[in-house]
């Protein structure tokens, strides 16, 4: 059985995608049918992994009418470490890298705000939305389409803001005394940001 491409320690891509869906959305329950559609795996394939993970104590399941509802086992000792690992391997960074790569006019792109803080090691709950800064001259419609695709994969709102290279470079080396001149970009610079690894961008 083929293992996960992003995190080979998982026994299969299905297992990795299922755990990512549940542990990156710990407040939600999903029916087996919903899971099948969201991760693109047949119902028998999902069922096979669910049985294994419930038995191992990683996830919870319960009956609701004719549906079998599943969710992350949040009280497990490994729940937070597993969520942290899945955030890096299956969270916004790889998804946004995939969706933004190749879009004309992007010079660089960054995650900022709460998600960037989590990537930098700050403690706290998994954020409910994702803030993205795109530097360049990209068409806003192209960015909106990419954000919509990312939202469907991440089940979270993706907020994209585009700035020019000139404005972004003007805040290089900014400090707290510079906030008044460009409050938004200076604040972004002064807090954790994570660059999104892009490839094959056409400027």
- φ and ψ at residue 164, rounded to 5 degrees: -80, 155
Domains in the chain, CATH or no CATH each: 13-82 (1.10.10.10), 91-195 (3.30.460)
How confident is the model over 39-84, as pLDDT tens digits? Answer: 889 999 999 999 999 999 999 999 999 999 999 999 988 898 898 8
Given this model, what pLDDT does residue 151 score?
A: 92
Spatial CA neighbour of 162 closest among 186, 146, 138: 138
Spatial CA neighbour of 197 closest among 129, 87, 126, 102: 102
Q: What is the pTM of this model?
A: 0.73
What is the pLDDT confidence band of residue 202, given thresholds at 50, 70 and 90? Answer: very low
CA 87/CA 96 separation, integer angstroms: 13
Q: Give yes or no for a contact between 5 and 17, defined as CB atoms under 8 angstroms apart.
A: no
What stretches of the chain show up as alpha helix (H) in DSSP?
A: 13-23, 32-39, 43-56, 79-90, 92-100, 114-119, 140-154, 165-170, 183-190
Instruction: Return the top range by mean pLDDT from 3-12, 74-83, 87-96, 108-117.
Output: 108-117
How confident is the model over 113-171, as pLDDT tens digits? Answer: 999 988 887 877 888 899 999 999 999 999 999 999 999 888 899 999 999 998 898 87
């Amino acid at each position: 059985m083929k293992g996960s491409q992003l995190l080979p320690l998982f026994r299969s891509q299905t297992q990795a995608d299922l755990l990512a869906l549940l542990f990156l959305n710990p407040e939600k329950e999903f029916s087996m049918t919903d899971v099948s559609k969201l991760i693109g795996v047949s119902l028998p394939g999902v069922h096979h992994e669910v049985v294994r993970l419930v038995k191992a104590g990683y996830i919870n399941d319960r009956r609701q009418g004719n549906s079998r509802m599943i969710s992350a086992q949040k009280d497990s000792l490994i729940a937070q470490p597993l969520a942290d690992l899945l955030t890096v391997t299956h969270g916004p960074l790889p998804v946004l890298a995939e969706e933004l790569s190749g879009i004309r006019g992007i010079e660089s792109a960054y995650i900022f705000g709460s998600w960037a803080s989590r990537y930098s090691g700050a403690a706290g709950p998994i954020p409910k939305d994702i803030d993205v800064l795109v530097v360049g001259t990209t068409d806003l419609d192209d960015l909106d389409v990419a954000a919509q695709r990312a939202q469907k994969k991440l089940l979270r709102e993706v907020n994209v803001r585009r700035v020019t290279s000139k404005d972004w470079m003007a805040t290089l080396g900014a400090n707290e005394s510079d906030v008044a001149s460009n409050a938004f970009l200076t604040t972004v610079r002064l807090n954790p940001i994570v660059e999104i690894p892009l490839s094959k961008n056409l400027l």
